[in-house]
Amino acid sequence: MEPHESTCRICGGRVREFFDFGRQPLSDFFPSPDQVDEEFFFRLAVGMCDACTMVQLLEEVPRDRMFRHDYPYHSSGSQRMREHFADTARSLLAGELSGEDPFCVEIGSNDGVMLDVVRQAGVRHLGVEPSGGVAELSRAKGIQVRTAFFEEATAREIADEHGPADVIYAANTICHIPYLDSVFRGVDALLAKNGVFVFEDPYLGDIVARNTFDQIYDEHFYLFTARSVQTAARRFGFELVDVERLPVHGGEVRYTIARSGARRPTARVGELLAEEALGGLGDRGTLEKFGIRIRRVCDDLIARLRELHDRGFYVVGYGATAKSATVINYARIGPELMPFVHDTTPAKVGCLLPGSHIPIRSADELGPPYPDYAVLFAWNHFEEIRVREKEFTDRGGRWILYVPEFRVV
Ligand code: SAH
Ligand code: TMP
Ligand code: ZN
């Protein structure tokens, strides 16, 4: 096989690369200064399957390297996301979980941000979360959690112990799982006859339209569309019955999947499929053009940062996000141009960014004295961050955004 091809994890078709970010580190491993030798690197390249249009990475990072006891991402870290998940839980409770003794399973429940609301309502639930640290945090809140990877075997055990699930929910997790075939077989084993499998993930349509290429990193193995999800679901005896666009994380879609024939798809499914066809989202040409824009934005960003540096300005980064690894390492931004990145997550402070080894400082240390510019790597939390760091801009500091293109605000 050509080095720029792989075999589709879902249908066995030919996946052809459309962009190569080169050698990249694990995005969510922030080494302490004495751990820099432990970093793991892989080739981050992304392609589309000729047969089923599923966009996927060409190389898979072993799951135990990514989802460890010390997995640093805590879902509750953002006020907006806490509200989003509370709303999600309330709408599930009012709808799919309103029957008699309902049972809700969440895949990738992290620190329990969603399930805590389900727990408070007294509804039977189970989180499936392989990262031990966040699983413990949610257990401390009284949430039921199994420290495991969701896959066929886990799902069968859960079904044996607890009976069928009315809702299997996942946010920002299904796209992390290359072995999606095993997930679907697991859902088949666990889901009630008229139950729903609901998951939400970054949407390829928004990623291409907004040029948010930094959503591509080790953990995001798949970039879904309604078409690719529908095709995958059908292979395993399911049907895509609803889609909902969500504004979070730069644009996501919430997919609702039911057993074939169990429910009638809403008009929204057909509408999104039509929109995708019109926009050429399943065409290689669209993705190749996206690749050209990725290059241009990264070339532009590094050139502007060099220029600001040469003119004597002090520029830092803000938000030690997983997605920052892609842009920082691809554009080759190092500590000489960006001495620090600031972040509110206690576990990240004092550590280094992966690959570039830019030191992470707390958000409270942003100032005063404040830097001249801060590159916003957590652009998906801009509204919240802008309020938190109001003093920075009040004192003349400026935010630099790089998606959809370089701009100073
Ligand atoms: N749902 C949360 C967390 C997303 S981060 C949110 O939207 O904020 C992704 C989570 O998925 C991590 O906590 C990771 O440990 C978990 N995960 C990864 N692979 C998994 C699998 N196979 N089964 C269940 N959880 C998984
Ligand atoms: P995310 O983009 O993957 O959700 O990660 C957001 C990161 O940004 C996380 O490390 C926390 C950090 N952050 C701040 O530093 N300040 C803030 O005000 C917010 C909301 C997040
Ligand atoms: Zn395929």
Residue 61 in any domain: the answer is no
Residue 21 in any domain: the answer is no
Instruction: Give the C-alpha separation, 381 to 364, whole Å.
Output: 17
Q: In terms of domains, do 169 and 224 share one? A: yes
Q: E strands of 26-130, at which residues?
A: 41-49, 55-57, 103-107, 124-128
Q: In terms of domains, do 100 and 172 share one? A: yes
Residue 229 in any domain: the answer is yes
> What tokens were used for 133?
């640290």
Q: Taking a C-beta distance cutoff of 8 angstroms, is the pair 178, 221 a contact?
A: yes
The 3-class SS string of 217-247 reads CCCCCEEECHHHHHHHHHHCCEEEEEEEEEC
The best mutation among 324, 343, 383 to test binding of ligand 2, ranked by most ligand atoms within 8 Å of the C-beta, falls on 343
Q: Taking a C-beta distance cutoff of 8 angstroms, is the pair 236, 152 a contact?
A: no
Counting beta carbons within 10 angstroms of the beta carbon of residue 64, is it exposed (0 to 12), middle (13 to 18) or buried (19 or more)?
exposed
Instruction: Give the C-alpha separation, 265 to 315, whole Å.
Output: 50
Atom of ligand 1 nearest to the CA of 154: 23
Q: In terms of domains, do 329 and 356 share one? A: yes
Which DSSP state fits 364?
G
Q: C-alpha 154: how far from its chain's center?
A: 22
Q: In terms of domains, do 227 and 156 share one? A: yes
Q: Among residues 234, 264, 282, which one ends one of the domains?
A: 282
Q: Taking a C-beta distance cutoff of 8 angstroms, is the pair 252, 198 a contact?
A: no
Q: In terms of domains, do 274 and 290 share one? A: no
Residue 4 in any domain: the answer is no
Residue 32 in any domain: the answer is no
Q: Strands across the sheet with 41-49, in order? A: 5-7, 14-25, 41-49, 55-57, 222-223
What's the confidence (pLDDT) of residue 2?
60
Q: In terms of domains, do 270 and 141 share one? A: yes
Q: In terms of domains, do 257 and 155 share one? A: yes
Residue 316 in any domain: the answer is yes
What's the confidence (pLDDT) of residue 3?
78
CA-angle at 95, arms to 174 and 233, nearest 5° = 35
Query: CB of 221 closer than 6 A to ligand 1?
Result: no
Q: In terms of domains, do 118 and 191 share one? A: yes
What's the confidence (pLDDT) of residue 177?
98
49: CB partners within 8 A, 6+ apart: 8, 10, 11, 13, 14, 15, 55, 56, 228
Ligand number nearest CA of 128 is 1
How many domains does the chain fold into?
Answer: 2
Q: 318 C-alpha vs ligand 1 centroid, how far in Å?
A: 24
Q: Taking a C-beta distance cutoff of 8 angstroms, is the pair 71, 77 a contact?
A: no
Q: In terms of domains, do 150 and 267 share one? A: yes
Q: In terms of domains, do 114 and 237 share one? A: yes
Query: CB of 171 closer than 6 A to ligand 1?
Result: yes
Q: 106 C-alpha vs ligand 1 centroid, how far in Å?
A: 9
Mode of pairing for the β-strands spanning 165-171 and 103-107: parallel
> What tokens were used for 253?
């879609």
Residue 40 in any domain: the answer is no
For residue 337, what are the domain limits?
Answer: 286-408
Which DSSP state fits 352?
B
Q: Among residues 265, 282, 299, which one ends one of the domains?
A: 282
Q: Taking a C-beta distance cutoff of 8 angstroms, is the pair 381, 318 a contact?
A: no
Instruction: Give the C-alpha separation, 372 to 392, whole Å.
Output: 9
Query: CB of 128 closer than 6 A to ligand 1?
Result: yes
Q: Among residues 282, 310, 336, which one ends one of the domains?
A: 282
List of the chain residues with pLDDT < 70 = 1-2
Residue minimizing CA distance to atom 16 of ligand 1: 108
List the CATH number of the domain containing 340: 3.40.50.720
Q: 209 C-alpha vs ligand 3 centroid, how far in Å?
A: 23
Instruction: Give the C-alpha separation, 134 to 116, whole Å.
Output: 13
Q: 377 C-alpha vs ligand 2 centroid, how far in Å?
A: 9
**Closest to 61 measured CA to CA, from 43, 77, 47:** 43
Q: In terms of domains, do 309 and 271 share one? A: no
List the CATH number of the domain containing 164: 3.40.50.150
What's the confidence (pLDDT) of residue 363?
98
CA-angle at 173, arms to 102 and 289, nearest 5° = 135
CB within 6 Å of ligand 2 — which residues? 77-78, 319-322, 343-345, 348, 363, 378, 380-381, 384-385, 388
Residue 245 in any domain: the answer is yes
Query: CB of 134 closer than 6 A to ligand 1?
Result: yes
Q: In terms of domains, do 134 and 210 share one? A: yes
- 238 phi, psi to nearest 5 deg: -120, 170
93: CB partners within 8 A, 6+ apart: 117, 118, 121, 123
Q: Which long-range contacts (CB under 8 A, 24 or more apart) does 6-10 make?
A: 6/47, 6/56, 6/58, 6/59, 8/49, 8/51, 8/52, 8/54, 8/56, 9/54, 9/56, 9/178, 9/179, 9/180, 9/181, 9/221, 10/49, 10/52, 10/54, 10/180, 10/181, 10/231, 10/232, 10/235
H-assigned helices in 236-283: 267-278
Q: 235 C-alpha vs ligand 3 centroid, how far in Å?
A: 11
What's the confidence (pLDDT) of residue 52?
98
